[in-house]
Amino acid sequence: MSHTLGIRQAQKQKTRQALMDSALQLLEHQSLSSLGLREVTRAVGMAPAAFYRHFTGTADLGVALVEQALGSLHDTIRAAIVTTGSSEERIDRAVALIAAQVRTHPAHVRFIARERHGGVAPVREAIGVQLRAFGDEVAEALGADPESAGWPPEDVRMLAGVYVDHMVMTASALLEGDEGSEEAVLATARAQLRLVTLGRHHWLD
Amino acid sequence: MSHTLGIRQAQKQKTRQALMDSALQLLEHQSLSSLGLREVTRAVGMAPAAFYRHFTGTADLGVALVEQALGSLHDTIRAAIVTTGSSEERIDRAVALIAAQVRTHPAHVRFIARERHGGVAPVREAIGVQLRAFGDEVAEALGADPESAGWPPEDVRMLAGVYVDHMVMTASALLEGDEGSEEAVLATARAQLRLVTLGRHHWLD
DNA sequence: GCCTTGAGAGTACGACTGTTCACTGACTAC
DNA sequence: GTAGTCAGTGAACAGTCGTACTCTCAAGGC
């Protein structure tokens, strides 16, 4: 599949990426429904009309951004679930993973948090699909865990939903707080996961 | 304090409310950062310049909407926490309360969910203040509960945060799903609360 | 090597935006 | 009763917006 693509295609993908990067930067201080097509092209330094060579409109660009922000995260998350160790260690690793993701890709995280309930329906839908996919994958991983033996599948899926929601909440909490409060947010996140883990241990009592 | 206010002031408050109502309606399909001042006045049927008699801009209007959407909810939530009964009964009542709130004021709930991480900083801040106040109030109510005896205050506050976050998540989940999936969302919400309650029982083990 | 393709430039269009200003006329204080 | 206050009007301002059009010219297929 990785056949070398021509100079032309390569250049097109490059400017497409430039459009997405500039858009992501502009979205730091506004939401997608107010992002102008001209605004993006101006930031990249090209004519407005050229935008249409890559996207049908800003909504389309938003969907592409969702793909980029969440598409590559599936394997990472799946791997995080199946790590071994005590509950405490696994919680630490999961929270550290979220913190790392927020630190390395803050703009992507902000975009997802902002547009998850934002005003652009296709983008909302795309994020919903991705998060539901995360939930399914986490549920599958949890189902394989011996601790989930005897659990009804819908309860496993419910628990997976808690983990995914908590991940999103923690990520956006990290963005909102000033950088000094990072450790406090992470400590709360760990405590919350401990609470859930405790409930999980006694679910079938 | 309830001294009859003149015809003039009454009329002003009336149009102010009309502006807020129209804005809320327009915000059903877009976010605040893309809401135009002219758009709102057009919906109300008055001249654009008159807007400034009531708000300094759309951000100011948004903050007023936050106040209206969440300001009156404090007593309701506080009352919901202190109800008696078994854990199961209390969970049912809490979830029913959320469902009722979403059913009676869907536009307000959508606005809060959308702008909580939206592109307008003052509005984000106002929502954050209100939700933190909810958390504090819930924490205070939880602290009075005999079940929380021996809990460190920060753990009580953490638990309160879980409840508030869960409330917001459930509310927005109700909005996203089609009306047929309401009972499924509520069932999941109840299960999640049961999980947290279970963890709560064993927190000090 | 030539012919086709297509990314991007440049220009122009009408519609819409936030903000200002002088104004009107119903209410209110005295 | 009269003078002043002030919510709302209507016109005008300079910008910005999305979109359509023709044009250019480097890359790629044959």
The structure tokens 């009075």 sit at B144
Query: Whole-number mean pLDDT of chain B?
Result: 95
At the topology level of CATH, where does A7-56 sit?
A: Arc Repressor Mutant, subunit A (1.10.10)
- Give the C-alpha separation, A111 to A95, whole Å: 20
Spatial CA neighbour of A110 closest among A22, A25, A182, A21? A25
- pLDDT, tens digit, for every residue of B110-144? 999 999 999 999 999 999 999 999 999 999 999 99
> What residues 172-201 of chain B have any CB closer than 8 A to a CB of chain A?
172, 176, 188, 191-192, 194-201
Asked if pLDDT for residue A1 goes beyond 50, the answer is no
pLDDT at A2: 42
Using 50, 70 and 90 to split pLDDT, how confident is the model at B63?
very high
pLDDT at A203: 98
A117–B172 CB contact, under 8 Å: yes
Other beta carbons within 10 angstroms of residue B86's beta carbon come to 8
Q: Which CATH superfamily is domain B7-57 in?
A: Homeodomain-like (1.10.10.60)
Indicate yes or no: strand D within 7 A of the C-beta of A122. no
Quick one: tokens of B201? 């029982």
Indicate yes or no: strand D within 7 A of the C-beta of B124. no
pLDDT at A3: 57
Instruction: For residue B30, give the 3-state DSSP assignment.
Output: coil
Q: ∠ CA B175-B179-B184 to the nearest 5 degrees? A: 85
A38 CA from C16 C1′ (Å): 15
Contact A134, A74 (CB under 8 A): yes
Looking at the complex, does the CB of residue A34 fall below 8 Å from at least one CB of chain B? yes
Choice among A42-46, A78-82, A87-91, B196-200 with the minimum mean pLDDT: A78-82
Provide the H-helix boundaries in chain A. Answer: 7-26, 37-44, 58-70, 73-81, 87-104, 106-115, 121-144, 153-176, 182-201
Query: Whole-number mean pLDDT of chain A?
Result: 95
Helix axes A7-26, A58-70, angle to 10 degrees: 90
- Give the C-alpha separation, B18 to A73, whole Å: 45
Quick one: tokens of A191? 């405590």
CATH number for the domain running over A68-201 = 1.10.357.10
For residue B188, which residues of chain A lie inside 8 Å, CB to CB? 158, 161
pLDDT at B82: 84
A23: left (phi over 0), alpha (psi -120 to 50) or beta: alpha
Mean pLDDT for the stretch of residues A89-94 = 96
Specify which residue's alpha carbon is closest to the C1' of nucleotide C26: B8
Domain boundaries, chain B: 7-57, 68-201
Other beta carbons within 10 angstroms of residue B154's beta carbon come to 13
- Give the C-alpha separation, B51 to B49, whole Å: 5
Contact A69, A111 (CB under 8 A): yes
pLDDT at B75: 87
Chain B residue at shortest CA distance from A112? B117
Contact A24, A40 (CB under 8 A): no
> What residues 119-138 of chain B have any CB closer than 8 A to a CB of chain A?
119, 121, 124, 128
- pLDDT, tens digit, for every residue of A116-148? 999 999 999 999 999 999 999 999 999 999 999
Indicate yes or no: strand C within 7 A of the C-beta of B36. yes
Interface mutation vs chain A, best among B117, B131, B172, B192, most A CBs within 10 Å: B117
- Nearest Cβ partner of A198 from B162, B191, B199? B199
For residue A202, which residues of chain B lie inside 8 Å, CB to CB? 198-199, 201-202
Give chain A's length: 205
Give the H/E segment covering residue B103.
Answer: helix B87-104
Residue numbers 19-58 of A with CB closer than 7 A to any atom of strand D: 36-39, 42, 48-49, 51, 57-58
**Long-range contacts for A157-165 (Cβ within 8 Å, ≥24 apart)?**
A158/B188, A158/B191, A158/B192, A158/B195, A159/A196, A159/A200, A159/B195, A160/A135, A160/A136, A161/A135, A161/B188, A161/B192, A162/A196, A162/B192, A162/B195, A163/A138, A163/A196, A164/A131, A164/A134, A164/A135, A164/A138, A165/B169
Asked if pLDDT for residue B167 goes beyond 50, the answer is yes
- pLDDT, tens digit, for every residue of B72-122? 999 889 888 888 899 999 999 999 999 999 999 999 999 999 999 999 999
Q: How far off is chain B from A38, nearest CA to CA, in Å?
A: 15
Mean pLDDT for the stretch of residues A37-55 = 98
Looking at the complex, does the CB of residue B155 fall below 8 Å from at least one CB of chain A? yes
Asked if pLDDT for residue B4 goes beyond 70, the answer is no
**Which residues contact residue B182 at a Cβ distance below 8 angstroms, ignoring those fewer than 6 apart?**
B99, B174
pLDDT at B48: 98
Contact B134, B77 (CB under 8 A): yes
Identify nearest nucleotide to residue B12 by CA to C1′ distance. D7
Largest CA distance in chain B: 65
Instruction: For residue B116, give the 3-state DSSP assignment.
Output: coil
For residue A29, which residues of chain B lie inside 8 Å, CB to CB? 119, 121
Residue numbers 102-121 of B with CB closer than 7 A to any atom of strand D: none
- pLDDT, tens digit, for every residue of B53-62? 999 999 999 9
Looking at the complex, does the CB of residue B109 fall below 8 Å from at least one CB of chain A? no
